[in-house]
Structure 1
C-alpha cells in the first residue's frame, strides 16, 4: 500500500485469476473502485471464461456481484482496524489513506453508510485528537438538531473564526474541516444518522433557543441602520442583517446558502490558475451581518440617527466591511487600499498622543534645567560680590 496511490488510479494491486489462471491486474476501476486502489488482493473466479475481455468485465453480472463483495469485505476490514483496542493502528491508517475514504464519499454514493463511520475530523472540543462522526453525535446536546462544521486551512484559523463565537458560548461542538477535500466530502454525505451537516459560515444559521420578542425589538431598532449600511456598501453585499452567531466581534461576512464558502472560494481561485472569469458567477452572494450589542455598531446606529452623511461614519462602514472580509476568510480585492484605510484610522487614533506628551516632558525638563542653572549661578554671583 502507498500514500500516493490516490493520484494513480491504475495501480495494479488487484490480480484476477480464473480457475487459478492469471488473467489481468489492470482493470482501471471495473473490478474495484479507484478510491480503494491502495488495497492489495487476489480474486479467483470459477464463473468467468478464461478469455475474459474488458467488455465482459464492464457488462457481466458476475463481475458486478464480485465488485460489491470485494468492497464490502474491504470496509469490514477497515472497520475492524477502527475498532481495534490499539487506537494508534487506525490513526496510522487514517494518516496514510484517509484521503481515499473522503474521495469515496464523493464518488461512491451507494456506500455512504459504510464510509461515514470511518471518517475522522478535529473539532472545537478535540483540537489535538481526531474524532469520529459517531463520537460527535454521542456528544450532541439534547436539543441540537444538526452537525455543525466550518471549513478552513488550519485548526488555528477555524478556532479563531468569528462564526464560532455564539456556538462556543452555547457549548455546541463544531467540526473543523482543514483538509481541502473535507468540505466537498461532507457536502456529498449531506447527513449522518438523520442529522444534517450545517456550514456555520452560511446564512440562515439556526442554533436554537431563539428569543423572538428580543429579536423583533432589535430588528426594529436597527432595521434602518442596516438599510443605511447596505446603501453604503452597494453591490458588495446582497443584504445586511442582524447576526445571531456573534458575541464579541462587531460584524461578519457570511456566504449565501447555496454559494461557495470563503474556504471553497479560496480553493477554487487556486485551481483556476489566474482565470477568474467563472468565479464571479459561482461564488454567490454575500451577506453582511452585524452584532447589535457591540459598541462599534451601537455608535454607527447613533451616527445614522444623528448625522448619516458624516464622512467618518461612512469610512468606518467601509473599514468594517474590509475587516469582516479578512476575518471571515475572504481575500480583499485591493489589499493596498485596505492598508491605507487602516493607516488612516491609526493616524487619527494616535495623532499627537505621544508627541504632545513628549513636548510637555521636554518643556518640563527645560524648565527644571533652567531652575537648576539659576540656583547654581546665584551663589557664584554672590561669592563674586564679596
Structure 2
C-alpha cells in the first residue's frame, strides 16, 4: 500500500489522517488541524503537516533544546527522523512528513543542511503552516461573528455554545507564545505572523483582539497603534501614562506577556500605522491650536521648577554611590499625558520600559553596562494641573 502522503487526498478520510498522526507523533489525542499538499514546479515534494491539540509538558522551558518533529524522506527512504532545518524553531511544535525526489540521497546530514533545494522546501513549508494557522483564525472570527448576532432572547440558551472553546482558542492557548517568538525572529514572515497575534486592550474587557480589529476600531484621525506593557492587566490599568488615552477614548493594547514588547519593537508598524509605546517620552497625540498654545505657556511658566527638579536629582545621585546617573532621569518636563496623577516617569524612545527593565534585571547574565545605559534615559513628567 502507498504511503499516506503519496495517495490522493480525496481517497483519504479524516480518520486515516488522525490514525497516521497518532502513529508518527505518539499522541493519543489526534491533531487539531492538518494540511496535505504537493508542491509543484522547479522543486517538487509532498508533505503532510499537523498541529497538535496540546503543547508537550515544559514545552516553552525546553524551547531551545526542542527538536523538530518533521520526518524527512528522500524518494520514499527515511533519511532523518527529526530534521531541524525544515522549519524555524518557533514552529517546532509542527509534526509531519516531507518527501522529496529532488534532494540527494547519499549525502551526510551536514551536506544536506546546506542544500539550496532544502531552503526552498523550508520556505514553502513555513508558508503552508502559516496558512493553516490563518485558516483556524478565520474560522474562529466567523464563528464568533455569528455568535455576536444572537439576540438577547436567545442569549441565555446559547450561552453554552458561546462559551465553548474554539479550535483557535485551543491553538492560541498552547502555541501563542511561538507566534510571538516568530514575530521577533522571522523577518520574512513578520507581517503574516502579526495578523495572527491577539491582545487584550483597554476596551476589550476579558476578550483578546487582533491588530486588524484594533485598526478597524480606530478613529479616522488616529495614525498610530498605541500599546503599553506591564506585569498584569490590573497594574497597567492603574498606570498614570494611560490617563490621557482614557480621557480621549483612545484604545491601548495591554501587553502582559514578556514576549509581547520585544515582538512589538521588531514589528514597528502595522497596516501603515506606527506602533507606539505610551510609556515612552516621545508619544504625540492630536492637539488643537489652543492646546498647543496653552502647553507652550505652561512650559515657560514651569521652566524654573523643572530645572530645579533636575538639579536636585543630579545632586542627590552624586551623593549616593549606588545611584544611577541622576537616578536614571535624563530630563524633567511638563506632562501632556497626566490627568489626575501628580507625576510619572517614562522612558525615552530607545530606553527600556519598566517591564523590560524588570525582565532584564531578572536575567542572570545581563550586560550591566548596557542595562545602566538603557535605564538612565528616563524622563520625569510633572502634571501642571495637579
On whether the aligned pair clears a TM of 0.5, the verdict is yes
Distance in 2 separating the partners of 1:90 and 1:69:
23
Aligned to 1:348: none
C-alpha contact 2:229 2:254 (8 A) present in aligned 1: yes
Aligned to 1:251: 343
1:10 CA drift (Å):
3.8
1:15 CA drift (Å):
0.4
Aligned to 2:102: 47
1:80 and 2:80 matched? no
Aligned to 1:56: 111
Larger-gyration structure (1/2):
1
- Look up the SS of the partner of 2:207 in the other structure: strand
- Look up the SS of the partner of 1:43 in the other structure: strand
C-alpha contact 1:260 1:284 (8 A) present in aligned 2: no
Unaligned runs of 5+ in 1: 295-386
Distance in 1 separating the partners of 2:376 and 2:201:
27
Offset from partner CA, 1:45-79 (integer Å, 9 cap, x none): 11112224323333222111100110011011000
Distance in 2 separating the partners of 1:49 and 1:227:
71
Aligned to 2:266: 188
Aligned to 1:155: 233
1:289 CA drift (Å):
0.3
| Root-mean-square deviation (Å) | 1.7
1:17 and 2:73 matched? yes
1:31 CA drift (Å):
1.2
Aligned to 1:142: 220
1:66 and 2:121 matched? yes
Output the TM-score relative to the length of structure 2: 0.73
How many correspondences in the alignment? 293
Distance in 2 separating the partners of 1:26 and 1:52:
16
Counterparts of residues 255-294 of structure 1 (less than 5 Å): 255-272=347-364, 276=368, 278-294=370-386
- Look up the SS of the partner of 2:189 in the other structure: helix
Distance in 2 separating the partners of 1:224 and 1:12:
62
Distance in 1 separating the partners of 2:373 and 2:287:
35
Q: 2:179 aligns with which of 101, 104, 113?
A: 101
Offset from partner CA, 1:250-294 (integer Å, 9 cap, x none): 100011111111110011111137985552133231111001000
Counterparts of residues 1-386 of structure 1 (less than 5 Å): 1=52, 2-3=55-56, 4-6=58-60, 7-8=62-63, 9-28=65-84, 30-84=85-139, 85-86=142-143, 88-210=166-288, 211-234=291-314, 235-236=326-327, 237-272=329-364, 276=368, 278-294=370-386
1:216 CA drift (Å):
1.4
Offset from partner CA, 1:139-158 (integer Å, 9 cap, x none): 11111111100010111011
Unaligned runs of 5+ in 2: 1-51, 145-165, 315-325
C-alpha contact 1:10 1:27 (8 A) present in aligned 2: no
Deviates more, 1:267-276 or 1:146-155: 267-276
- Look up the SS of the partner of 1:179 in the other structure: coil
Distance in 1 separating the partners of 2:356 and 2:302:
31
The structure with more helix, counted as a fraction of residues: 1
Offset from partner CA, 1:173-200 (integer Å, 9 cap, x none): 1001100111001111111111111010
Distance in 1 separating the partners of 2:59 and 2:108:
25
Output the TM-score relative to the length of structure 1: 0.73
1:215 CA drift (Å):
1.2
1:223 CA drift (Å):
1.1
Offset from partner CA, 1:205-247 (integer Å, 9 cap, x none): 1011242211111112111111122222222221110101100
The structure with more strand, counted as a fraction of residues: 2
- Look up the SS of the partner of 1:247 in the other structure: coil
Question: Kindly tell me: are residues 260 and 274 of structure 1, through their superposed partners in 2, closer, same or farther at Cα, counting changes over 3 Å?
Answer: closer
C-alpha contact 2:184 2:190 (8 A) present in aligned 1: no
Distance in 2 separating the partners of 1:246 and 1:23:
62
